[in-house]
Amino acid sequence: MPRYPASLRLLFFYCTIRPDIKGTTIRKDSSPMSSFYFIGIGGTAMASVAIALSHAGHTVTGSDVQLYPPMSTSLEEHSISYFNGFSEKNLHDRAHDVIVVGNAISRGNPELEYALDNQLELLSMPELVRHHLIARNTSLVVAGTHGKTTTTSLLAWLLEHGGLQPGFLVGGIPENFSVGCRPSGRGNHGFFVSEGDEYDTAFFDKRSKFLLYRPDIAIINNIEFDHADIFDSLEDIKRSFRLFVNLIPRNGLLIVNGDDPVAMEIASRAFCKVERFGLASEAEWSATNIRADSAASTFDLLRHGTTIGTLSVPLFGSYNIMNTLAAVAAATRSGLSFEAVKHAIPLFQRPKRRMEIIGTYARNITLVEDFAHHPTAIRVTLEALADLYAGRRIIACFEPRSNTTTRKIFQQELSQCFGVASIIVMGKVHRPDRYAPDKSLNTLQLKDELETQDKTLFLAGMSERNYPDDIVEFLQLQLKEGDVVALLSNGSFSGLKNLLIENFEKNF
């Protein structure tokens, strides 16, 4: 392919990234295509954006290490080849127009070093999204410590069902769509919904990702301390959210959790209109008469304190009622009527790994998987499961894997977030060598604290037996009829899910 100037390549890109009428298969026209190489293609957002570009007709490949489902299988299903492992040889065979650098990639990576040595064009994933996907569309950005993926998925589905053909970027695989990212179906005159992560952008750009997404309509679900590897304190995180709010234009809208004091503090500095959502009736968007059965949560929707109708959403827990309120508020601002929202919501399907029911096996043992990796997320997820499966034992299997939960920062909070669980399995601390012993999560101390609450806690990986097979063996002895086993991790948990499925199908 000839090497066109960057300005022409950008123009070609805009001309070719148009979806067809179905919004999932992308038309290809005769303009020259670009070649993209993703360093760190296995990241949730990176893989989703790579798939969107591939569907647009561009050449896409990349590399990563330790890829696992659902992103590895999603790449394969969309015929995107990738290298297992990083090597500068991966970049030798063909010229790529753009090297997309994931935020997990740092100096010393052989492919990054090769790209720098050879003056290859580098772009961060958020920059790619801003310029090539959001572009001139109305940008809806969902931010906050918890609930981003579910809220983004629900909002994208509401707009889709309402006929608005939104583009979107979701930090997962939304079940209502076959992909986690796609362009707007209306070119540059439609809507684009982004999951606005506060994590940093790239090794060369330490801004939070959501600062590149140019919000017109923004949601802030909640704000807590997280990501201890890049933020020093809650105040440090608040600084990023203040910058985010400051990007919303005067004619835009900020939809904020009115029950979260920190989020409300940040919203107080907005130059745009602010609407609150919450379970308190004084919020502009609120819910009352909340009830649930095995299929859905149902509630009466109030706007400015007046009931406008009843909604039934296939989600559980008060936090998911909050997520729903935020998505409904944003969808309404985008032009949808209450009736359109009411008909769309029951058809929503949860994203993968968000209270995803993997299966129910003999003796009515149910296996559930969730991405929860923060004490608050663990608590509300387990409470929602306890409500959904009333009267059944909850067994929580948690893997301390994030940069925050592997440290001592949440030592006390982790001892208090498993309240409804009868049995807790604590997986191995991920990469414990990163921190000094006095800075790392102390799982032995955590065990003592939980046992004083009459909890049974099993510390996995403490013996010579293979990990995580020791978890399977432990559960084999502990499980009783009707138990609900919840896997809580933002990683693969060393393949525990597949091991448990195999064991349950064989022995239960």
Nearest to 221 by CA among 287, 150, 166, 302: 150
Q: Structure tokens of 207?
A: 């801004």
- The closest alpha carbon to 191, from 172, 214, 168, 211, belongs to 168
| Domain assignment of residue 305, yes or no | yes
Q: Please give the full DSSP string across 125-153, using - where no structure is assigned.
A: HHHHHIIIIITTSEEEEEESSSSHHHHHH
List of the chain residues with pLDDT < 50: 1-31
Same structural domain, 405 and 288: no
Please indicate, yes or no, if residue 1 is contained in any of the structural domains.
no
Q: In this structure, what CATH number is given to the domain that contains residue 302? A: 3.40.1190.10
DSSP class of 408: G
- Same domain flag for 227 and 113: no
What is the strand order of the sheet 217-220 is part of? 181-182, 167-169, 191-196, 138-143, 217-220, 253-257, 273-278, 285-292, 297-303, 306-313
Alpha-carbon span 12 to 7, nearest angstrom: 9
Q: Which of 146, 151, 144, 147 is nearest to 324 (CA)?
A: 151
The CATH number of the domain holding residue 58 is 3.40.50.720
- β-bridge partners, 459: 426
Task: Quick: pLDDT tens for 242-259.
Answer: 999 999 999 999 999 999
Q: What CA–CA distances, in Å, run from 99 to 117, 235, 353, 354?
A: 13, 34, 29, 31
Strand partners, 415: none
Q: Is 337 exposed, middle or buried (0-12, 13-18, 19+ CB in 10 A)?
A: exposed
pLDDT of residue 464: 60
Same domain, 65 and 212: no
409 and 388 in one domain?
yes
Evaluate whether 480 touches 456 at the Cβ level (below 8 Å). Answer: no
Closest CA to 170 of 327, 7, 347: 327
Q: Nearest Cα to 135, choosing from 16, 50, 43?
A: 16
pLDDT score recorded for residue 173: 78
Q: Rounded to an integer, what distance in angstroms lies between the CA atom of residue 317 and that of residue 382?
A: 9
Q: Where are the alpha helices (DSSP H) in 431-468?
A: 443-451
CATH of the domain at 419: 3.90.190.20
Rounded Cα distance, 267 and 270, in Å: 5
Smallest CA-to-CA distance from 170 within 143, 152, 145 is with 152
pLDDT score recorded for residue 32: 52
Kindly state whether residues 197 and 220 are assigned to the same domain.
Answer: yes
pTM given for the model: 0.81
Q: What is the pLDDT of residues 256-305, one digit of tens each?
A: 999 999 999 999 999 999 999 999 778 999 999 999 887 889 999 999 99
Question: Could you tell me if residue 56 is inside a domain?
Answer: yes
Cβ(97)–Cβ(34) below 8 Å:
yes
Q: Are 275 and 284 in contact (CB under 8 A)?
A: yes
Backbone angles phi, psi at 308, to 5 degrees: -110, -5
Domain boundary at 323, 347, 371, which? 347
Of 120, 143, 166, which closes a domain? 120
Do 315 and 374 share a domain, yes or no?
no
Distance CA 107, CA 368 (A): 38
Domain count, the chain: 3
Q: What is the pLDDT of residue 155?
A: 98
Question: Which amino acid would we find at residue 253?
Answer: L
DSSP E strand stretches across 91-229: 98-101, 122-124, 138-143, 167-169, 181-182, 191-196, 200-202, 205-208, 217-220
How many residues can be counted in the chain? 508
Q: Do residues 220 and 295 both lie within one domain? A: yes
Of 318, 347, 376, which residue constitutes the final position of a domain? 347
Q: Which structural domain range is residue 11 located in?
A: 6-120
